[in-house]
């Protein structure tokens, strides 16, 4: 008996190792887990639910071929059915037969519960103790299970899922980084083209006009001094315009208020300039935060976009802007009590503001989070490394 157990444990171990050393992709790992668990427990069917922290529920993510159609269809809250009970209490539930007699049992037509009399639910926990999911094994006949094998299976499977999760997160991060680099270079190119066109169409044209005015002034200087003075006047006006154009172009690259005033006063000025009228402003902006210059630009641009969004979409009565240090980070918060929205709903192809903000912040080694829900306001929080925090 013991020998048989050792053999099945060995097979399980080998299977998990094989799943781990394959390409590590979550879908493939879950598929192998179903086979391994069915094999290790000798059940007739197996399903695996993963915990979806964002939606507070267990989602059926993998199943034996006979229950494949339930994948993605069954969602359970904590405490719902035997599976939800196992997840909530983090305890293995073993029902050798007549599961209908167990008050925790709930019938799910998608899972063809009528076919099986025996079931087990085994919670899968991460090393941190967090819930990863639950696997269930169903059997047509009465079945007794070895708790040790179940626990070993659970810990190996949890390890495999955690590993695949990390692998997936890493792969996604890598892809996001590559995409970000590509878009940043593209954005830089576009920005250069735009600035070049602006200088060409603006300042260069004005300098040419100034040149002609000065030429005309020079020609009339001896013959018609009044005309020369008019030409000079026109040239002076053009110089003013050119200066203004040049300033605007420079402002687009780095807001000059940041150099003139510093971040905190620049944020206050921005808020007062854009949010006028009925909106009550609650400014809690610290003057002494220490930030690298390029991170100041990031926070200023985020605040600009967040405030523009508030003006365009929120219909808010109160707006709060806070800036403070939380070493080694600096935190910027822009919140409003307006209409809110569902940040999880995919963004439209025409909306770049939030995506751009997130990208800017993450390129600077920071994090941006959006908390919002329809009718419940919006809070944008940015955490960015301060001076000395850049290596963290
Ligand atoms: N403070 C807010 N209050 C309510 N809805 C908001 C707020 N901020 C953003 N939204 C919603 O999120 C969507 C996406 O915002 P985002 O800034 O990415 O794009 P946009 O403002 O529509 O366009 P743009 O690319 O010009 O910024 C908006 O269309 C709006 O529906
Ligand atoms: Mg926007």
DSSP 237-296: HHHHHHHHHHHHHHHHHS-HHHHHH-HHHHHHHHHHHHS-TTPEEEEEE-TT----HHHH
Residue in the block written with tokens 């209908």: 100
- Mutation test residue for ligand 1: of 351, 352, 358, the one with most atoms within 8 Å of CB: 351
How many angstroms does the Cα of residue 344 sit away from the middle of ligand 1? 13
How far is Cα 386 from Cα 293, in angstroms, rounded to an integer? 10
How far is Cα 343 from Cα 351, in angstroms, rounded to an integer? 12
Predicted local distance difference test score (pLDDT) of residue 321: 97
How far is Cα 86 from Cα 133, in angstroms, rounded to an integer? 10
Give me the mean pLDDT over the 107-136 stretch: 91
How far is Cα 153 from Cα 26, in angstroms, rounded to an integer? 17
Q: What is the DSSP string of 75-127?
A: EE-TTSHHHHHHHHHT--EEE-S-GGGSTT----GGGTGGG-SEEEEEEEE-T
Count Cβ atoms below 10 Å from residue 202 Cβ, excluding itself: 17
How many angstroms does the Cα of residue 181 sit away from the middle of ligand 1? 24
| C-beta 351 within 6 A of ligand 1 | yes
State the ligand closest to the CA atom of 334: 1
Whether pLDDT at 144 is above 90: no
How far is Cα 155 from Cα 28, in angstroms, rounded to an integer? 18
State the ligand closest to the CA atom of 307: 1
Q: Indicate which atom in ligand 1 lies nearest the CA of residue 341.
A: 5
Compare 377 and 356 and report the one with higher pLDDT: 377
| C-beta 228 within 6 A of ligand 1 | no
How many angstroms does the Cα of residue 311 sit away from the middle of ligand 2? 9
How many angstroms does the Cα of residue 348 sit away from the middle of ligand 2? 11
How far is Cα 21 from Cα 255, in angstroms, rounded to an integer? 51
Confidence of residue 378 (pLDDT cuts 50, 70, 90): very high
Could you read off the pLDDT of 293-333 as tens digits, one per residue? 889 989 998 998 999 899 989 999 999 999 999 989 999 99
Q: Indicate which atom in ligand 1 lies nearest the CA of residue 336.
A: 1
- The CATH classification number of 2-173 equals 3.30.450.40
Ranking 22-31, 55-64, 105-114 by mean pLDDT, the lowest is 22-31
- Mutation test residue for ligand 1: of 301, 319, 321, 341, the one with most atoms within 8 Å of CB: 341
Predicted local distance difference test score (pLDDT) of residue 349: 61
- Mutation test residue for ligand 1: of 183, 354, 370, the one with most atoms within 8 Å of CB: 354
Whether pLDDT at 139 is above 80: yes
Domain 257-385 has CATH 3.40.50.2300: no
Could you read off the pLDDT of 58-84 as tens digits, one per residue? 999 999 999 999 998 999 999 999 999
How many angstroms does the Cα of residue 306 sit away from the middle of ligand 2? 7
CA angle centred on 374, ends 55 and 278, rounded to 5° = 150
- Mutation test residue for ligand 1: of 313, 316, 377, the one with most atoms within 8 Å of CB: 313
State the ligand closest to the CA atom of 319: 1
| C-beta 340 within 6 A of ligand 1 | yes
Q: Indicate which atom in ligand 1 lies nearest the CA of residue 314.
A: 3
State the ligand closest to the CA atom of 316: 1
Q: Element (H or E) spanning 323, and its range? A: strand 318-326
Average pLDDT, the chain: 86
| C-beta 378 within 6 A of ligand 1 | yes
Predicted local distance difference test score (pLDDT) of residue 209: 87
| C-beta 314 within 6 A of ligand 1 | yes
Predicted local distance difference test score (pLDDT) of residue 392: 40
How many angstroms does the Cα of residue 278 sit away from the middle of ligand 1? 20
Whether pLDDT at 9 is above 80: no
| C-beta 341 within 6 A of ligand 1 | yes
Strands of 27-89 (E only): list them. 45-52, 57-63, 75-76
* Residue having the nearest C-alpha atom to atom 6 of ligand 1: 313
How many angstroms does the Cα of residue 103 sit away from the middle of ligand 1? 48
* Sheet containing 75-76, strands listed edge to edge, beginning at the edge strand earlier in sequence: 75-76, 57-63, 45-52, 131-139, 118-125, 93-95
| C-beta 343 within 6 A of ligand 1 | no
Confidence of residue 26 (pLDDT cuts 50, 70, 90): confident
Contact status, residue 364 vs residue 295, Cβ threshold 8 Å: yes
Could you read off the pLDDT of 117-131 as tens digits, one per residue? 999 999 999 989 999
Say which residues have a Cβ less than 8 Å from residue 353's Cβ, sequence separation at least 6. 305, 308, 309
């Amino acid at each position: 008996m013991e020998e048989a157990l050792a053999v099945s444990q060995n097979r399980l171990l080998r299977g998990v190792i094989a799943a781990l050393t394959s390409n590590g992709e979550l879908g493939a790992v879950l598929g192998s887990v179903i086979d391994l668990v069915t094999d290790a427990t000798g059940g007739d069917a197996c399903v695996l639910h993963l915990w979806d922290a964002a939606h507070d529920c267990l989602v059926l993510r993998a199943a034996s071929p006979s229950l494949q159609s339930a994948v993605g269809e069954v969602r359970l809250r904590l405490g719902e059915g035997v599976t939800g009970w196992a997840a909530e209490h983090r305890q293995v539930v073993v029902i050798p037969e007549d599961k209908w007699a167990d008050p925790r049992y709930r019938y799910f037509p998608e899972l063809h519960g009528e076919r099986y009399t025996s079931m087990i639910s085994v919670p899968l926990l991460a090393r941190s103790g967090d819930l990863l999911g639950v696997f269930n094994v169903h059997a047509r006949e009465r079945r007794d299970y070895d708790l040790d094998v179940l626990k070993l299976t659970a810990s190996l499977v949890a390890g495999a899922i955690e590993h695949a999760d990390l692998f997936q997160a890493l792969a996604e991060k890598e892809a996001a980084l590559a995409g970000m680099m590509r878009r940043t270079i593209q954005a830089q190119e576009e920005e250069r083209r735009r600035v070049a066109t602006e200088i060409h169409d603006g300042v260069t044209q004005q300098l040419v006009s100034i040149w002609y005015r000065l030429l005309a002034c020079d020609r009339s200087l001896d013959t018609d001094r009044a005309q020369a003075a008019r030409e000079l006047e026109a040239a002076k006006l053009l110089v003013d315009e050119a200066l203004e154009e040049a300033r605007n172009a420079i402002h687009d690259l780095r807001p000059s208020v940041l150099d003139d005033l510093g971040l905190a006063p620049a944020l206050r000025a921005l808020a007062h300039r854009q949010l006028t009228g009925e909106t009550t402003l609650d400014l809690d902006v610290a003057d002494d935060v220490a930030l690298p210059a390029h991170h100041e630009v990031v926070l200023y641009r985020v605040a600009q976009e967040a405030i523009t969004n508030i003006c365009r979409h929120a219909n808010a009565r109160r707006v709060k802007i806070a800036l403070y240090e939380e070493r080694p980070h600096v935190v910027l918060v822009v919140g409003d009590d307006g209409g809110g929205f569902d940040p999880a709903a995919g963004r439209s192809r025409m909306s770049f503001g939030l995506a751009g903000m997130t990208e800017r912040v993450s390129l600077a080694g920071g994090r941006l989070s959006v908390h919002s829900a329809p009718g419940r306001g919006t809070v944008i929080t940015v955490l960015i490394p301060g001076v000395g925090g850049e290596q963290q």
